[in-house]
Amino acid sequence: MTEKETKQHKKFIEDLRKDAQAVEHQSRAASKDMNFIDAEGGMWHDWNDERFKNRTKLQFDRISQAIGVAVGKWNTNRVGVIFKPSDEATSDENAELENGIYRGDFRENGGKLAVDNAVDEVFKCGQACFKLGTKFEDEEDPENDNQRSEWRPIYNSYDHVFWSRQSKAIDKRDAPYVTEIEPFTIDSFEETYPGKAANSAFDTRSVWGHSRFNWRLHKDDLINVASRYEKIEKKRTVFVYNNLEENKVEVYSEEQHEKEKSRLKKNSLIIFIRKRKIIKQEVWKYVFSGQEFLEKPRRVIGRELPIIAMYGIRSFVDGVEHSRGMVRKQIDPSRLFNTIVSQTAEVASTSGQKIPIVDADSVKGLEDHYADIQNSSFLPMNPQRDNDGKIVAGSGLLGFYEPGQLDGNSAAIFQLITQFMTDTLGGVPQDTLDPNASGKAINAILKREDLGTQQYFDNIANAIEWSGVVWEGIRREIYTSGRTVNTIGFDGTESRQILGKIELDSQGDQVEINSLEGKRFKSYSDSGPQYETQREETVEIAKGILEAISRIPGAEQYSMPLLFTIFDNMPSDGMRIVKEFNRKLMLIQGIVKPETDEEKQMVAQAQQPQEDPQQKLVEAAANQQNAEARQLDASSLDKVASAEKKAAETQKILTETQGNKVGLLMDIRDRQLKQAETGFLN
C-alpha cells in the first residue's frame, strides 16, 4: 500500500475499534437477549450454574408468545413506503409510477425477507439492520449493464454493524460512515481474496477481551472482513441549458457536456444559461482486513449510506445510546419463574414418599426390597435381639425422611411473577378477554395491549420511511429513460412500463411519457393491508355496501360501480375470464385509465363511431320505401298521361257526336282525371 493508503487504513481500523467500544454494553445485552429467547437452554445460560448443576432445569417461555403476537400484528398490518410529489414539476401520475416501481422491486428483490428479519430482531433485542444495494438484471448476459435495486438482510447486526459514534438520529441519517463486519472461514477468505493475508479487521477479543461471535467453528478459524461505507461530498461543475423546444431545463456534467456540446450548439432552441459549481454527495465503499485493503475503493450507487438502522425502545442516558426489545426486562422474572417451577417439579416428583431410616444390619441382605419401595407390598427386616435372644420391639426402623414442601414465600412469589408478566407482556386471548364482556370493554383491552407495542411500530415506521429515501436515490441512477420496469399498483395489479417512452399526442406532436427525470418525491411510511389482503378487504366492504344500498330507494346508481369493484378485486385465479371481461368494460366506460399499449388501443377503437345494427335496418327500410315511391311516381305519371290521352280522344268524339251527349262525356272526362290524380297522391 502507498503511504496515503496505509494512513487511511490505520484510521479506519482505529475508528472501528472506538465505534465498537462505544456500544459494547449494548452489543453484550443484545447478544444475551437473542441467546435467551432463541438458543437451546438459553434461559439458564449464566444463571446459578453451580447451584443448578445436575438439577431440573425447566423452561416456561412466556416471552415468545408476546413476541409472536407482535410479529403477527406486523404481518397483518405491515408498514410500507409511499412517495408523494415534493415540487410543482412532479405530478400525481409521476408519484403513482414511482410507487409502482418501488412495490415491484420490493416484492421481487428480497424486500420482505430483509425487513421481516429486522422486525423480528427489533422485537427481541431492540436493534436491527438491513441493506439496500443493486444487482445486475441478467447476471449471465455480459452485454446487459442494467441493474435493479435489491434488499439484503443483515443477521445479528448488533455484532456486525457499527455506526459512527457521533451519530444521534434514530435512522442514522446523520452518520458520516458505517462499518459492516462479515465473517469468513479461512478457506472462503482465501477463495474470495486470493493472495491476501488472512488477518481479521476486527476481533472482539481485542476490544472486549473475549469473542462473542457464537459460531460452531473455532474462533481462530474465522476472519472478519470489514466494509466501510462513507459519505463524501465532492464539488462538480455542471452546465445548465434551457430547452425551448421541450420547455424544460437540462443540466449536464462536465463529462456529458463534453460529449454533447457540439449537438447543443447546432440547436438554436437550446440556449446556454450558465456554468456553475455544485456539491454532490456520494457514497464510497472500502473493504479491508486487519492488514490491508482487500479491494479498490469504489463508489456505490445512491446518495445515502445503504444500511438502514431499526430500533425498538431507544433512549440516551448520560449521552450514551441505549436500546432494548421485549426480552430485556423479562429476563429476571422469567429466570425466577423457571427456578420456582423447576424446584416445584422436583418436589412433585417425590411427593407422598417417606424414605425409611433404618439400621444397616436390619436390612442386610434385603437391600433390593428397599430399592423398589413403590412396587413392594411389604418390606422385610432382620429382627434385632437382645442379649437373651429376644426380639427388641421397634428396633431397626429409626424414622422417616420427609419430602420437601413448597414454602409459602415461594408460592407468593410465583403468583407475583405470573401477574407481572401478564401485565407487561399481555396474556393469551382467554386470559385477557372475558367472553361475557361488552364490545366496548373488549376494544379497550385490545387498545391497551396495542399500547405496549406502539413505540416499536412507530420506530419501525421511521426506519421504513428512511429506506424509501435511500431507495429513491438508487432509483434515480439505475432506472433511466428507455428502461422497462415491473410495477405493482396499490391494489396489487401488475404491469410493465417503459420509462421515457415517446408517443404522439392529439396534435401529432411527440411527447415523452412515464419519465421520472428531474422529478422529486418525499418518502412517507404507509401502514395497512397490502396486495391480496387488501383486495379481500375491499371485496367484503363493497359487498356490504351493495347489500345496504339495495334497501335504499334511489341508490341503484351505485350498483354497477360496486359490482365493477368486486370483480376487479377478486383474488381467485379461477375468475380470470370474468376479471378480464370486467376490466374491458371499465376501460370502455372510462371508469379506469388504460395502463398498457394494448389497453390504450382498445379504448381508442371503442371511442370511434360504431354502426348501429338497428340503425342499419331503419336506413334499409327507408331506402326501400324511397325506391317504391319512385316506382309509384312513374306509374302515376303514366296514368295521368293515359288519362289526358283518353280525354283528348273524348273531346274529338264530342265534336263528332250529337250535342245532347256533351254533358255525359264531360262527366266521364272529369272522373278519369280524378282517378289519375288520386293514384298519384296515394
Q: Which carries the bigger pLDDT value, residue 379 or residue 353?
A: 379
Which grid cell sits at 449?
Answer: 395491549
Handedness of CA 343, 349, 353, 354 (dihedral sign): negative
pLDDT average, residue stretch 607-628: 63
Most confident among 75-79, 176-180, 515-519 (mean pLDDT): 176-180
The helix (run of H) or strand (run of E) holding residue 234 is strand 222-243
Least confident of 130-139, 163-172, 225-234, 422-431: 422-431
Mean pLDDT over each residue of the chain, to the nearest integer: 79
To the nearest 10 degrees (0 to 180), the angle between helices 24-38 and 63-76 is 100
Alpha-carbon distance of 279 to 273, in angstroms, equals 19
Residue 29 has phi, psi (to 5 degrees) of -65, -40
* Digit-coded pLDDT (tens) for 51-73: 767 777 878 887 888 898 899 88
pLDDT at residue 680 in the model:
41
Q: Please check the confidence at residue 213 and state whether its pLDDT lies above 50.
A: no
pLDDT average, residue stretch 419-426: 67
Burial tier of 80 (Cβ tally within 10 Å: 0-12, 13-18, 19+): buried
pLDDT band at residue 216 using 50, 70 and 90 as cut-offs: very low
Share of the chain above pLDDT 70, in %: 73
Residue 430 has phi, psi (to 5 degrees) of -70, -15
* Digit-coded pLDDT (tens) for 33-53: 999 999 888 888 877 666 767
Q: What is the largest CA-CA distance in the chain?
A: 199
* Digit-coded pLDDT (tens) for 525-573: 886 555 555 666 677 777 888 788 777 877 777 788 888 787 777 766 6
Q: Please check the confidence at residue 665 and state whether its pLDDT lies above 50.
A: no
Cα 363-364-366 angle, rounded to 5 deg: 65
Alpha-carbon distance of 95 to 255, in angstroms, equals 30
pLDDT at residue 357 in the model:
76
pLDDT at residue 450 in the model:
61
* Digit-coded pLDDT (tens) for 218-238: 455 789 999 999 999 988 899
**Structural contact between residues 231 and 300, judged by C-beta atoms closer than 8 angstroms:** no
pLDDT band at residue 346 using 50, 70 and 90 as cut-offs: confident
pLDDT at residue 620 in the model:
64
Q: Please check the confidence at residue 94 and state whether its pLDDT lies above 60.
A: yes
pLDDT average, residue stretch 622-645: 57
Q: Please check the confidence at residue 437 and state whether its pLDDT lies above 70.
A: no
Q: Please check the confidence at residue 9 and state whether its pLDDT lies above 80.
A: yes
pLDDT at residue 588 in the model:
82
Q: Please check the confidence at residue 376 and state whether its pLDDT lies above 80.
A: no
Share of the chain above pLDDT 90, in %: 33
pLDDT average, residue stretch 144-150: 90
Alpha-carbon distance of 501 to 510, in angstroms, equals 10
Least confident of 126-130, 223-227, 241-245: 241-245
pLDDT at residue 681 in the model:
38
Alpha helical stretches, state H, 531-661: 532-549, 559-569, 576-588, 597-607, 613-656
pLDDT at residue 248 in the model:
79
pLDDT band at residue 474 using 50, 70 and 90 as cut-offs: very high
pLDDT at residue 394 in the model:
59
pLDDT average, residue stretch 488-498: 83
Q: Please check the confidence at residue 140 and state whether its pLDDT lies above 50.
A: yes
Burial code of 475-495, b = ≥16 C-beta within 10 A, e = fewer?
A: bbebbeeebebbbbebebbee
Q: Could you tell me how many residues make up the chain?
A: 682
Least confident of 127-136, 270-279, 451-460, 672-681: 672-681
Q: Please check the confidence at residue 260 and state whether its pLDDT lies above 80.
A: yes
Burial tier of 263 (Cβ tally within 10 Å: 0-12, 13-18, 19+): exposed
